[in-house]
Amino acid sequence: MSAVITKDNFDAEVVKSEVPVVLDFWATWCGPCQMQTPELEKFAEAHEGEIKTAKVNVDEQPELAAQFGVQSIPTLILVKGGEEAKRVVGLQSADQLAAQFLG
């Protein structure tokens, strides 16, 4: 299960995370975002302990979306040590996520 990220828990959950974090920027009204969720969960389960996944609702957290310059969703951003390391935009399969973020 992915963590839910807000501006209030961002530092604790993402910046101070001991493992890299994949942030999934999404919205409830976004069809491809709904399709992304099971793929992200499959990816997270396959790589438990090596990486953490977290969801950012762009409608509820516009400051975080703006901070990362998110313009389209779904956008998935790998954060290592509090810094963006990689970004992919659009629906990704679990295998594509592994290739992009762990490959």
Position 34 scores a pLDDT of: 97
Is residue 94 pLDDT above 80, yes or no? Answer: yes
Which of the following is catalytic: 3, 27, 30, 102? 30
Give the pTM. Answer: 0.95
What number of CA atoms fall less than 13 Å from residue 72's CA on the CB side?
A: 7
Domains and CATH numbers, the chain: 3-98 (3.40.30.10)
Catalytic residue among 5, 33, 70, 73: 33
Whether 81 is a known active-site residue: answer no
- At residue 25, the pLDDT reads 98
Amino acid identity at 5: I
Q: Is the pLDDT of residue 2 over 90?
A: no
* 30: annotated active-site residue: yes
